[in-house]
Amino acid sequence: MIRKPCQIARRPSGPTPRGFASFGIVCRLNHLARSTGREFQACAIAMSIFLNLYRDSKRVRDKACSLLFSRGFYRFGSGSVICLPFRLGGESAVEIGSRVYLGSNCWIEVMDLDPETPRPIISIGDHSSFSGFCTITAVSRVTIGSGVLIARFVHISDHSHSHASAELPIKDQGVTKIAPVTIGDGAWIGHGAVICPGVTIGKNAVVGANSVVRDDVPDHCVAAGVPAKIIRRPETDSNTSLSR
Per DSSP, the three-state class of 99 is coil
Q: How far is CA 240 from CA 151, 217, 221, in A?
A: 21, 17, 11
Query: What residues are annotated to the active site?
Result: 161
Nearest-CA neighbor of 146 among 120, 201, 97, 185? 185
Per DSSP, the three-state class of 119 is coil
CB within 8 A of 58, min separation 6: which ones? Answer: 83
CA–CA separation, 128 and 145 (whole Å)? 8
Alpha-carbon dihedral of residues 14, 20, 23, 24, nearest 10 degrees? 150
Could you say which DSSP state residue 217 is in?
B
